């Protein structure tokens, strides 16, 4: 009887582990920005092409939500993807661990795209992975995509780093 109870408890623990949903974050730095336009420039023509390439890259991927800082370059980077998916680009001012936890709770098991900057995307990746250290991207480096899957921010993180 004791062995049966232990086996039952172990089975419940294993099932609970599998019941946790995996939420995927797609983190992308904005595409190439124009040099004119002050602190909120538009995308360069090559940035527009990169934004279109991002939409094509995730053409077959179910996207549940898209977030961007409130700058033209970040919003315009994900605008073609949002249009293709019929989604609205939600804006954020910061993306701290507590904010990421709210996103996981709002979209459990979903896929969330976050568009940011050379310094904010690595910070978000660090908050999601805890223990890994992503460095700030070089100013001229626009081609990184970090795909991070978690059960909760900082827990069981799996990372795929792509270039596009």
Domains in the chain: boundaries? 21-163
Superfamily for the 21-163 domain: Phosphoglycerate mutase-like (3.40.50.1240)
The predicted structure's pLDDT at residue 12 = 46
Per-residue confidence in pLDDT tens, the chain, 164 aa: 544 344 444 444 444 444 579 999 999 999 999 998 899 999 999 999 999 999 999 999 999 999 999 999 999 999 999 999 999 999 999 899 899 999 999 999 999 999 999 999 999 999 999 878 899 999 999 999 999 999 988 888 999 999 99
The predicted structure's pLDDT at residue 19 = 57
Strand order in the sheet with 89-92: 89-92, 65-69, 111-116, 23-29, 144-150, 158-163
Ramachandran angles phi, psi of 162, nearest 5°: -115, 160
Beta bridge partners of 145: 28, 162
- Here the tokens at position 49 are 């092409």
CA 51, CA 80: separation in Å to the nearest integer? 7
């Amino acid at each position: 009887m004791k062995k049966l109870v232990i086996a039952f408890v172990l089975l419940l623990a294993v099932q609970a582990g599998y019941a946790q949903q995996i939420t995927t974050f797609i983190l992308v730095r904005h595409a190439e920005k124009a040099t004119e336009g002050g602190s909120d420039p538009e995308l360069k023509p090559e940035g527009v092409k990169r934004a279109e390439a991002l939409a094509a890259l995730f053409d077959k991927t179910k996207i549940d939500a898209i977030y961007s800082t409130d700058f033209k370059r970040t919003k315009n980077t994900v605008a073609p993807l949002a249009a293709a998916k019929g989604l609205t680009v939600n804006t954020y001012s910061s993306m701290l661990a507590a904010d990421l936890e709210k996103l996981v709770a709002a979209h459990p098991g979903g896929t969330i795209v976050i568009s940011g900057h050379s310094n904010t995307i690595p910070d978000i990746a660090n908050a999601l992975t805890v223990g890994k250290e992503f460095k700030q991207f070089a100013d001229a480096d626009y081609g990184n995509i970090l795909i991070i899957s978690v059960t909760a921010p900082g827990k069981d993180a799996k990372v795929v780093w792509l270039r596009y």
